[in-house]
Amino acid sequence: MAQDTAPPRAEEHEPEVAVDTARGGLTGLSRLEIIGGLYLLVGVALAWLGVGLPADAIALQFGVGEIAPSLDLNPAVSVPVLAGLIAASGLVGILDRRLPRLAVPALVAGTVLVVPLVLIATLSQSGVPQTNVITLLGESLRLATPIALGALAGLFCERAGIINIGIEGMMLAGAGIGFVFYGLVGQAAGGWPLYAAVVVAVATGAMMAALHALMTITFRVDQIVSGVAINLLAIGITSFLRRQVIIPEGLGGGVTLPTIDLPGLSSLPVLGQLFTGRPIFLSMFVIFVLVQVTLFRSAWGLRVRSVGENAHASETLGIDVVKTRYQAVIIGGMLAGLGGAWFSLETVGTFDDVMTNGKGFIALAALIFGKWRPWPAFGGAVLFGFSEAFGARLQLLGAEVAGYPIPAQFLQSLPFVVTIIVLAGAIGRAVPPANVGKPYERSR
């Protein structure tokens, strides 16, 4: 049979998410009932904390310009009301046995309500009467860029059956080596070396991914161990280059990729600022469309998904499992390298040790959150990006609890707290591709 023959709809079924409502353990309560109880307590506590808020009106702005809408609120009223709704969502969660179809939507709604409640309470105490919600959303999308690209890197690898916890290392290597090229060739002064450096970052991610593929596919090394080795290798190489090249050459504060205004869209009165960004950020949306089409609307994408579900069955249908997995892992590495270029070439114009700051691991959480599908994974990336932008906004406004300032370290750790909550599976359990993490050996 020809090598290009694809299995007949090898993976029509996508991983499902099963809400775990099993009861047992020490309490005999379901997961949703426990979460509902916590939400009830949190809602009551937030209502108590909001009783003494000043009645001075604050405004939530939506966009810039005179025609941009604004929502005026009284913190002394709106905070207790929102807290009461959160407590009510917790009560619905506690009644999971009586209201099984309403528990999950209610708890999700309660989670969403926490954001405006905290923002309103912070504004009322900070002396800043207003804040722009659209700007916060735009910053969330921008900060989600490396996480989203890292999630796509993991998507290609794990859909092909290869665990890749080395995304962090691939991103870091792309950021470091790409900037070293930029500094040595163009003195970090812009021009064509800047765009060439982005290509170098992508190629670096591909080479790190090829090393991961060699160890896991050809030599069948444990995939977790290989990913850890990639991360450690990237830390060592980039730290060496920073000390031996970047610092001695005085390469820092370089020109970054320019801001681009999308014609027509960027001039919209309210949402126009969402259509202004730098090249890697804007290309992220195009890449997601291409990945969706490639993985779910092409023969090659079907082969990738089939080898991730059942490698030996795919082999019997003429698919070259080794070649397909190599291709998927290397493409994932290229995307991770592009995510690394976002840090050094698009955002700060320099390179620091471990500047990716765990974004590769958060990308894996976004991938799991999205159940190994592109657009839901993008939603997870935006969630984590929003948590980082929200923490930075609260830090800027000087958030307080009962008159005590919230430590900046806590606000900076907010994305990692969200990651823990997601990985704990507060809402459901994601099922990965069936063959992920399992070594493959040709049968003939």
Q: Last residue of some domain: 385, 406, 436?
A: 385
What residue numbers bound the domain in which 350 lies? 139-385
2 domain residue, yes or no: no
Phi, psi of 288, rounded to the nearest 5 degrees: -60, -40
pTM, rounded to two decimals? 0.88
397 domain residue, yes or no: no
203 domain residue, yes or no: yes
Q: Are residues 104 and 229 part of one domain?
A: no
Q: Are residues 176 and 47 part of one domain?
A: no
**Structural domains counted in the chain:** 2
All residues at 6 or more sequence positions from 395 whose CB lies less than 8 Å from its CB, including other chains: 406, 408, 411, 412
209 domain residue, yes or no: yes
Tens of pLDDT, residue by residue over 23-65, are: 544 557 777 888 889 899 999 988 887 777 777 888 888 877 6
Distance CA 129, CA 122 (A): 10
Q: Are residues 345 and 272 part of one domain?
A: yes
Q: Are residues 270 and 121 part of one domain?
A: no
127 neighbors 139 (Cβ within 8 angstroms): no
Has residue 384 got a pLDDT over 60? yes
Q: Are residues 149 and 72 part of one domain?
A: no
Distance CA 35, CA 29 (A): 10
Has residue 273 got a pLDDT over 90? no
Q: Are residues 58 and 89 part of one domain?
A: yes
325 neighbors 178 (Cβ within 8 angstroms): no
Distance CA 376, CA 370 (A): 4
403 domain residue, yes or no: no
423 domain residue, yes or no: no
Q: How far is CA 192 from the centre of its chain?
A: 30
Q: Are residues 161 and 123 part of one domain?
A: no
Tens of pLDDT, residue by residue over 285-342, are: 999 999 999 999 999 999 999 999 999 999 999 999 999 999 999 999 999 999 999 9
Q: Are residues 345 and 278 part of one domain?
A: yes
Q: Last residue of some domain: 339, 362, 385?
A: 385
> What share of residues in the chain are helix, strand, coil (percent, to 5)?
65, 5, 30
* pLDDT score at 337: 98
Q: Last residue of some domain: 67, 94, 128?
A: 128
Distance CA 118, CA 79 (A): 8
Distance CA 79, CA 332 (A): 44
416 domain residue, yes or no: no
Residue that is written with structure tokens 């050996």 in the block: 441
Q: Are residues 101 and 149 part of one domain?
A: no
Q: Are residues 123 and 143 part of one domain?
A: no
409 domain residue, yes or no: no
**What is the residue-wise DSSP string for 294-315?**
HHHSSHHHHHHHHHHH-HHHHH
**What value does the mean pLDDT take over residues 368-381?**
93
> Long-range contacts made by residues 400-407, C-beta under 8 angstroms, separation at least 24?
400/122, 400/125, 401/49, 402/49
CATH number, domain containing residue 358: 1.10.3470
Q: Are residues 196 and 57 part of one domain?
A: no
Q: Are residues 297 and 339 part of one domain?
A: yes
Question: Helix H segments across 317-435?
Answer: 321-341, 359-369, 374-397, 408-412, 414-423
